[in-house]
Amino acid sequence: MWGGPAEPADSYYAVRPECTDVPRTRFKIKPGKTLSARKWQAAFSLDGHLDIGKTLHRIQRGGIHPSIRGEVWEFLLACYDPESTFDERDQIRQHRRVQYARWKNECREIFPVIGSGRYITAPVITEDGMNGNNTEMMKELTPRGPLDKKAIQWLLTLHQIGLDVMRTDRTLVFYEKQENLSKLWDILSVYAWIDTDVGYGQAGMSDLCSPMIILLEDEADAFWCFERLMRRLRGNFRCTGNSVGVEKQLSYLAAVTQVIDPKLHHHFVSMLDPYPERGLRIWFSKDSPNIWKSRKRLNIPVSDTYSCSILSPESKTLGGGDYLFAFRMLMVLFRREFSFCDSLYLWEMMWALEYDPDLFSLYEEPGSNITKAVGSNKGKPKSRRPCGKYERENMKIKSSDASLPISVFLVASVLKDKSSKLLHEARGLDDVVKILNDMTGNLDAKKACIGAMKLHKKYLKKVLLLVFDSPINSLGG
């Protein structure tokens, strides 16, 4: 009932009794604040239209009850349009299940272990497409003549996926069952098959997928929820000969930290970068177009000159290299810094704050594929439908540029909170990593999101608006 005692959520994600060193869970189900099954059902009209505005507000207040978390996530991740009906969603769901079955069958035709209830941890073939020395794996390959490049690359990843599956969330009772491990392996394997650009990334892709199969019973539904999440994050996993995708976010983190905590940023740069003077500086005049009309809207004081160091992801002197300690936080969205339950709470808070009502239509456009990600709709007029609080702040800028993800400001918020300790105790990368690792299990998801929102607003006022509204007036070393 309203105002009743808070209920612990641990029982919904049981931990194996022998695992005694897992981070403690802070999230509690709070009547009147947490989105309950009753409130969730009441949010739908008779034909199935969802009142997404009230739903987002409730999630931001107290998260989602574990019993309905999976179906709510499908809306947060733009699997479905809140303005669709029950019948329309059923049609979409059935179509997607057929599509997943088709892709899975393609994989099974090459390697019959897919969908068999098993998974592998030994290499299938060598890089030249030849069968390896493992006779058991050789028996599993379907005779089909020479393999093309796509099939070879895919087969090379299968044992890597299996090794990661064995390590993912093994403290949970859920993964004591072989069928659940194989389901995780199947989903990741099918995803690696269809996303030929990124494939499978060992830097945490299994950590991102695992909650989906725990929350959604149907394997195809879990796959599509994961696929939607990867639309947001796949850029982090894209690697080239010279860079890793997440470096772009590390650079943004460096730029944000320089603005909100310049002393800490200078400490990181001087401690980890022997050539701090390499960074470019961009200067903005108060006479820049649109500054005067924009500052009043966002309550920005204007001085004679603004300055901001821009750390370009394309630059060979990438400043984000000084922030490699934040790599894991950005790649797996704090999965290792929170308990399993708290990390889910953090994710849904982030997605509710970032919610963009236009993403579903973007993903469903004719010709759209997995490479069309968040930010691909820049330049298009924004919908007037309800959106998340973080997204509303970004819309005030009225820029065609993709906004920074809230995860960057979450990490910046954590660094800001630990600023004093980092300044006084960190003398190298190992010290920074140790200080941040000590936070595991001691972070509060809701407070972290509130802190991220405050820093985001501060950053917009100080720099981001100026970057968007002003051309580069001059460059200097």
Q: Is the pLDDT of residue 446 over 50?
A: yes
Q: What is the pLDDT of residue 279?
A: 40
pLDDT of res. 470: 53
- Indicate whether 357 and 226 sit together in one domain: no
Is residue 328 domain-shared with residue 208, that is, in the same domain? Answer: no
Q: Is 346 a member of any domain?
A: yes
pLDDT for residue 206: 96
Same domain assignment for residues 194 and 256: no
Distance CA 209, CA 229 (A): 9
Q: What local confidence, expressed as pLDDT, does residue 38 receive?
A: 96
Q: What 8-state DSSP symbol labels residue 251?
A: H
pLDDT above 90: percentage of residues in the chain: 56
Q: How many CB atoms lie within 10 A of CB 91?
A: 12
Q: Are 188 and 225 contained in the same domain?
A: yes
Phi/psi at 27 (5° precision): -65, 135
Q: Is the dihedral of CA 89, 200, 341, 446 positive or negative?
A: negative
Under the banding of pLDDT at 50, 70 and 90, the label for residue 169 is very high
Query: Does residue 98 carry a pLDDT above 90?
Result: yes
Host domain of residue 162? 86-237
pLDDT, position 296: 39
Query: Is the pLDDT reported for residue 277 higher than 50?
Result: no
Does 435 fall in a domain?
Answer: yes
> Chain-wide mean pLDDT for the chain?
82
Residues 50, 215: Cα–Cα separation, whole Å = 20
Its pTM stands at: 0.84
Q: Is residue 378 assigned to a domain? A: no
Please give the share of the chain, as a percent, with pLDDT higher than 70.
75
Could you tell me which residue, 372 or 306, shows the higher pLDDT? 372
Is 407 a member of any domain? yes
Average pLDDT of the segment spanning 239-243: 67
- Number of domains into which the chain is organized: 2
Residue 385: the pLDDT is 77
Based on the fold, state whether residues 357 and 447 are members of the same structural domain. Answer: yes
Residue 272 confidence (pLDDT) above 50: yes
For residue 159, is it within any domain? yes
Last-in-domain residue among 214, 237, 260: 237
Judge whether 179 and 117 are in contact, CB under 8 Å: yes
Which is higher by pLDDT, 130 or 22? Answer: 22
Confidence band for 47, pLDDT divided at 50, 70 and 90: very high
Please indicate whether residue 203 or residue 254 has the higher confidence score (pLDDT): 254
Q: Are 319 and 254 a contacting pair, CB within 8 Å? A: yes
